[in-house]
Amino acid sequence: MTDEQRKERNTHNLTECNPAFRLKVAAILTDMEGHGWRPRIQEGWRSLARQKQLLADGYTKVGWGMHNATTGDGKADSLAADILDDDRPNHESTRFLLMLATSAKAHGCVTGIDWGLAQEDRDTIRSAIASRDFDTKIEVGWDPCHVQIGDISIQEARNGARP
Ligand SMILES: [Zn+2]
């Protein structure tokens, strides 16, 4: 998509994020753009109906996740955003994914870059992030473009915890 479309999409998706999380995602997008990437929020908030479909199709492992968070009165309050590389959507380089994970960490968030991996592979990713060695050869977990708030578990978020 054009940069105009991409930015419009990002702006719209940010409005459906929890206000404190939104600031973090905006900072991550700015960070990635500063490194020459064209990050696109593929999806921020999502309905429970859509979550159910994604679960059935095997794209997620939870029936309620950070994307489903709402305010007390039921408005979108997402605590997760999927950030793709608009130049290679769904075929992101490990360099993009490692930089995304590093920026996310710097802003108190985590990505799914190491989800489902063996401890050894998780450790490789951890040191690549710590040393900012974005060309490290890594195994990639099952949800590397997914960015969510750190320090709050799904259960806590579901019970109303917010950053
Ligand atoms: Zn996600």
SS3 103: helix
| CA 82 to ligand 1 centroid distance, Å | 5
| CA 111 to ligand 1 centroid distance, Å | 9
At 83 the pLDDT is: 98
At 32 the pLDDT is: 98
| CA 121 to ligand 1 centroid distance, Å | 21
| CA 146 to ligand 1 centroid distance, Å | 4
Give a yes or no: residue 136 inside a domain. Answer: yes
Q: What is the pTM of this model?
A: 0.96
Helices (H) and strands (E) in the chain, counts: 6, 4
At 27 the pLDDT is: 98
Give a yes or no: residue 65 inside a domain. Answer: yes
Give a yes or no: residue 73 inside a domain. Answer: yes
Show the tokens assigned to 112.
Answer: 């799914």
User: Edge-to-edge, what's the strand order for the sheet holding 109-112?
Assistant: 39-43, 80-85, 143-149, 109-112
CATH number for the domain spanning 10: value is 3.30.1380.10
Residue 96 neighbours by CB under 8 Å, 6+ apart: 37, 85, 88
At 106 the pLDDT is: 97
Give a yes or no: residue 139 inside a domain. Answer: yes
| CA 114 to ligand 1 centroid distance, Å | 14
pLDDT lower than 50: segments of the chain: none
**What's the mean per-residue pLDDT of the chain?**
97
Task: Determine contact, residues 121/159, Cβ cutoff 8 Å.
Answer: no
* Residue 83 one-letter amino acid: I
Give a yes or no: residue 163 inside a domain. Answer: no
Positive or negative, the Cα torsion across 141, 110, 17, 47?
Answer: positive
CA gap 67, 142 in Å, rounded: 16
Residue 60: give the domain boundaries.
3-158
At 25 the pLDDT is: 98
| CA 80 to ligand 1 centroid distance, Å | 6
Number of domains in the chain: 1
CA gap 40, 66 in Å, rounded: 18
